[in-house]
Structure 1
Amino acid sequence: MTDILHYLLIGLAILGLLSVVLEEIIHVNKAQSVLFLGALSWVLLFIFSSANPGEHDSVIYGLEENIGEIASLWLFLLAAMTFVVYLNKKGLIESLIYKVLPSQISERKLLFLTGLFSFVFSSLADNITATLISIALILSLDLPIRKTLRFATLVVFAVNSGGVAMITGDVTTLMIFLEGKVTITNLLLLSLPSLMAVLLLAAILSIPLKETAIIRRKTHDLQAVDFAIAAIFICTIIATIAGNVLFDIPPVLSFLTGLAVMFLVARAYGEDTENDPILNYVRQIEFDTLLFFLGILLLVGALKEIHALDSFVSLYEHLPAWSANYLMGLLSALIDNVPLTAALLKADVTMSLAEWLSLTYAVGVGGSLLIIGSAAGIVAMSKIEALTFGTYLRFIVALLLAYTLGYIAVLGLGMVIS
């Protein structure tokens, strides 16, 4: 393929990033702009490769692979979001929160509890589900928007930090584990420095929070079917983890099975009626979020097709592995961490256990530095209108400090266990 195509695709990817950053200025929905640029990238790939049958076949295979990855993510999101939409509409999540929280609590304590909840929950569930539940918790508290932004920022960071220590919590963690670079025991130890980073960020973000939060308890007319569906949701999360570890069942398949069970149970309880069909909850999820994911993954897939991401591997030829890993974490805030990690694994970069652990932490948590750098950030942005690229960027110094502290702690941990 020609150099002209490479420049075009890289240019489109930069435009995609700018369209997200400048959304409030250009007044074009980020899902619309990124979807257009992502689809155009693949159209150009097909046009430029048409003269060479070998390259054309490679592009066809690349698109099929890219679409397969997107479809898996879409279907997983659809299932997880449908569960959360149902439980939110019924008020079950709010009811559980109100039973645990006292009627009055300091905002600082509430911030720390929110961070710990997000961290622990993302260690058990995937990042997207953990974010959906955590953001629902925040919105139910009806805090002022400037405080809601602080809570949301901590949630994004905590969710990514919690997921990094479990093979079911983060895709890149699973990839590094499957290559035999780290063990499950090694990964579990990552939770210690990750938790340190979350607590530091919570401490920084809590500085201006000096008031007492009043928990306004709301009553909801909950039915037996609501508790049954909540139980199905929890069982689906547990089955997803167990099925993936024991039988290598893809998480999307487990969640689709859980969703189907939800529909059947709702029907059995008489919840699925002509006036209120259970399938209506599928229509209430944020499809603009799914379209944004589609556009982003199409753009990244196009860059992967021209091997533009492989150039990042050259960092390890000029820098020590520990510093290159730190930079990889920063890059993962701009570029999807999955192809970055895949490029490193394919290049067979030689690193020690401590360095592989630092890479696992860096690519898992580094995406938290920008709101568009992780699935958790994108989901949170779709749920809170005031949470934008610009408002999240206000906390970049605090986020960078927390990320760096966690990274240093991981390096020290790696040296000890080596």
Structure 2
Amino acid sequence: MENILILIFILGYLAITLEHSLKIDKLIPALSMMVFMWAVISLGHFNIYKVDEVLKALVPAEFNEMLLHHFGKTTEILIFLIGAMTIVEIIDHFDGFSAIKGFVKTKSKRKLIWVFCSIGFFLSAVIDNLTATIILISILRKIVKSNELRIWYASLIVIAANAGGAWSPIGDVTTTMLWIANKVTAAKLIEHLLLPSIISLLVPIIIASFLPIFKGNLEDSIVDDNGSSKHSKLMFYLGLGGIVFVPIFKTITHLPPYLGMMLSLAVIAAVAEIISRYKIELTTLEEHPIHISPVHKSLSRIELPSVLFFLGILMAVAALESVGKLFMFSEWLSTTVPNMDIVVLILGVSSSVIDNVPLVAASIGMFQHELDDMLWHFIAFSAGTGGSMLIIGSAAGVVAMGMEKINFFWYFKNITWLAAAGFLAGAITFILMRIFIFI
């Protein structure tokens, strides 16, 4: 009977990976998969388990208890993401990201690689790799007019954004999941992954710097757009500061990260309301002009389909965890594969083909290693940077593909080997650090 769950999961996952061919949003199979799997568990009266942290073994549990437990853990992640998305939209409402344009002052094609990739690396660590990619490609369009050259820059931005998101607890959904699940701490994640992530970026951009396409200077003049809001820089630095404050809040209070994100959102929203001079008017019988709050407008622009997709996929993986399948698979891996590094590297390569969110969610349910075990950090690195090897392997890649019409096979021919070289170099760096520094 439990094989029915695996079949539903495989079919749902297949529909998610083929969303472009099927022309249906991936949230539809994700939500359907979630509901069908939990319905089968309920109707089939399956045995429900939870992992005993002390015994490292499965123990019986109540169905409603585990359903509520997994929904609570999933909701923590979703509320955190909604808060972060809203803060980013508030910054964008005030054209805060125009402040980044001031860092782009060169016409050299080779130097421009380093400028964009450096900004992408650090920006994605704060506001997440997807948003950083959208912002930088939007700026890139105002600077580079050649379509052929622009898709090269956009592809390197994807590598930079994914590398930057891997070492930060708020830079990628997968690292956020590991952080909220108490598998890693912010300080140790940065300590263990910053250098491997830098290496995984340096290798591709150093190689790319010598490619013929990046020789010489830009023919088009750089566009200097001075039409930004007078509050743009204030909201840019306040927004980034608010997001960076969240790990500090968790460290000081030991409260869940989503509470810190809600506090940052409240402060930033208050400042946004004040500087926009938004006033709440009491309605009367007479009609008044409609004033749109910057906060309300920002909330209406967040990517709710992505939030619902995460809900579906995380709860579907939780269903497999609740019937003990992930724990059993973990034990099988431990006895079959002698080296866990190989397993994690395979996970990294797999994340370039299929979404890394369910892969990491499954890893959280499979492995019972201690907080800040090196395995969790290696999973964070592999899942985060491995997705760069294919254009469809990460959210950043998919959005770049849509914005710049990057062809799958063009990316595979020209960029995959660069991303793979960076991934392997970063992985080797991590393993060497683990051997000679941390152990």
TM-score by length of 2: 0.76
Amino acid at match of 2:229: L
The one of 322, 326, 337 aligned to 2:345? 326
Give the corresponding residue for 1:342.
364
51-60 vs 211-220, which deviates more?
Answer: 51-60
Q: 1:361/1:230 Cα in 2 relative to 1: closer, same or farther (>3 Å)?
A: closer
Give the corresponding residue for 1:263.
269
What is the 5 A alignment of 1:124-135? 125=126, 128=128, 130-135=129-134
Q: 1:133/1:164 Cα in 2 relative to 1: closer, same or farther (>3 Å)?
A: closer
> Does the Cα contact within 8 Å between 2:347 and 2:382 map onto a contact in 1?
yes
Give the corresponding residue for 2:251.
245
Q: 1:215/1:43 Cα in 2 relative to 1: closer, same or farther (>3 Å)?
A: farther
Give the corresponding residue for 1:159.
161
Q: CA deviation at 1:216?
A: 0.9
The one of 114, 117, 121 aligned to 1:115? 117
SS in structure 1 at match of 2:75: helix
Give the corresponding residue for 2:71.
67
Query: In structure 2, how many angstroms separate the alpha carbons of the residues matched to 1:388 and 1:44?
Result: 40
Q: 1:53/1:288 Cα in 2 relative to 1: closer, same or farther (>3 Å)?
A: closer
Query: In structure 2, how many angstroms separate the alpha carbons of the residues matched to 1:339 and 1:17?
Result: 16
11-20 vs 356-365, which deviates more?
Answer: 356-365
Cα offsets for 1:24-80 (capped at 9, x unmatched): x3222233343333333333333323x779999744334323332332233222222
Query: In structure 1, how many angstroms separate the alpha carbons of the residues matched to 2:236 and 2:379?
Result: 36
Give the corresponding residue for 2:334.
316
Query: In structure 2, how many angstroms separate the alpha carbons of the residues matched to 1:171 and 1:4?
Result: 30
SS in structure 1 at match of 2:91: helix
Query: In structure 1, how many angstroms separate the alpha carbons of the residues matched to 2:408 and 2:76?
Result: 26
Amino acid at match of 1:400: A
> Does the Cα contact within 8 Å between 2:47 and 2:323 map onto a contact in 1?
no
Q: Does 1:302 align with 2:302?
A: no
Q: CA deviation at 1:236?
A: 0.8
Q: 1:272/1:66 Cα in 2 relative to 1: closer, same or farther (>3 Å)?
A: farther
Give the corresponding residue for 1:105.
107
Query: In structure 2, how many angstroms separate the alpha carbons of the residues matched to 1:245 and 1:230?
Result: 24
The one of 196, 202, 206 aligned to 2:205? 202
Q: CA deviation at 1:296?
A: 2.7
Q: CA deviation at 1:376?
A: 5.2
Cα offsets for 1:269-323 (capped at 9, x unmatched): 3432542322122112232332332333233333333444341553332332332
Query: In structure 1, how many angstroms separate the alpha carbons of the residues matched to 2:202 and 2:120?
Result: 12
SS in structure 2 at match of 1:141: helix
> Does the Cα contact within 8 Å between 1:81 and 1:285 map onto a contact in 2?
yes
SS in structure 1 at match of 2:107: strand
> Does the Cα contact within 8 Å between 1:122 and 1:160 map onto a contact in 2?
yes
Q: CA deviation at 1:198?
A: 0.5
Amino acid at match of 1:339: A
Q: 1:282/1:301 Cα in 2 relative to 1: closer, same or farther (>3 Å)?
A: same
Give the corresponding residue for 1:15.
14
SS in structure 1 at match of 2:200: helix
What is the 5 A alignment of 1:397-408? 397-408=417-428
214-223 vs 30-39, which deviates more?
Answer: 30-39
Q: Report how many residues are paired.
A: 402
Q: 1:11/1:381 Cα in 2 relative to 1: closer, same or farther (>3 Å)?
A: same
- Name structure 1 gaps, 5 residues minimum: none
Q: CA deviation at 1:411?
A: 1.9
TM-score by length of 1: 0.79
SS in structure 2 at match of 1:298: helix
Q: CA deviation at 1:239?
A: 1.5
Q: CA deviation at 1:188?
A: 1.8
> Does the Cα contact within 8 Å between 2:87 and 2:265 map onto a contact in 1?
yes
Query: In structure 2, how many angstroms separate the alpha carbons of the residues matched to 1:382 and 1:249?
Result: 38
Aligned-residue RMSD, C-alpha? 3.9
Q: Does 1:409 align with 2:429?
A: yes
Q: 1:244/1:271 Cα in 2 relative to 1: closer, same or farther (>3 Å)?
A: same
SS in structure 1 at match of 2:277: coil
Q: 1:151/1:84 Cα in 2 relative to 1: closer, same or farther (>3 Å)?
A: farther
Query: In structure 2, how many angstroms separate the alpha carbons of the residues matched to 1:132 and 1:404?
Result: 25
> Does the Cα contact within 8 Å between 1:38 and 1:295 map onto a contact in 2?
yes
